[in-house]
Structure 1
Amino acid sequence: MSTTATLPPPLHPGRYRIAMVCLGNICRSPVAEVVTSARIAEAGLDDVVEVFSAGTADYHVGKSMDPRSAETLTSAGYDATRHRAQQFQHAWHDDVDLILVMDHSNHDDVTRGAERDRVRLFRDFDPEFPGEEVPDPYYGGEDGFREVLSMVERTSAHLVELVAGVVDR
Structure 2
Amino acid sequence: MSLPAPRTPGRYRVAVVCLGNICRSPMAHVVLESLVAEAGLDDRVEVVSAGTGGWHVGDPMDRRAAAVLTAHGYDASRHRARQFGRSWVEDCDLVLTMDATNHADVMEHAHDPEEWDRVRMFRDLDPRATEGDRDVPDPYYGRDDGFERVLAMVTRTSRALVDELAAILP
**TM-score category of the 2 structures, normalised to the smaller one:** over 0.9
Aligned residues of 1:26 and 1:85 also touching (Cα < 8 A): yes
Out of 64, 85, 109, the position equivalent to 1:89 is: 85
Structure 1 runs, 4 residues or longer, greater than 4 Å off: none
- The residue type paired with residue 160 of structure 2 is H
Q: State the SS of the aligned residue for 1:99.
A: strand
Instruction: Please give the secondary structure, in 2, of the residue aligned with 1:54.
Output: strand
Q: 1:78 to 1:27 in 2, by over 3 A?
A: same
1:7 matched to 2:9 = no
| TM-score, normalised via structure 2 length | 0.94
Backbone CA RMSD of aligned residues: 0.9
Residue 156 (structure 1) aligned with residue 158 (structure 2):
yes
Q: How does 1:43-54 map to 2 (within 5 A)?
A: 43-54=39-50
SS of residue in 2 equivalent to 1:116: helix
Equivalent pair of 1:24/1:56 in contact (CA under 8 Å): yes
- Please report how far the alpha carbon of residue 102 of structure 1 lies from its aligned counterpart in structure 2 after TM superposition: 0.1
Looking at structure 1, the residues matched to 9 and 116 of structure 2 have their Cα atoms a distance apart, in angstroms, of 21
1:165 aligns with 2:161: no
Q: Which of 71-80 and 87-96 deviates more?
A: 87-96
Deviations along 1:81-136, one digit per CA (max 9) or x if unpaired, are 00000000111222200000000100111011513100000000001115510000
Q: Which residue of 1 aligns with 2:127?
A: 127
Equivalent residues of 1:103, 1:121 under 8 A apart:
yes
- Is the counterpart of residue 32 in structure 1 residue 28 in structure 2? yes
CA distance in 1, matches of 2:10, 2:155: 25
Gap runs ≥5 in structure 1: none
Contact 1:11 1:95 in 2 (8 A): no
Aligned to 1:117: 117
Change in 2 beyond 3 A, CA 1:17/1:135: same
Q: Does the CA contact (< 8 Å) of 2:89 and 2:109 recur in 1?
A: no
Q: Does 1:75 align with 2:77?
A: no
* Gap regions ≥5 residues in structure 2: none
TM, length-normalised to structure 1: 0.95
Amino acid at match of 1:140: G
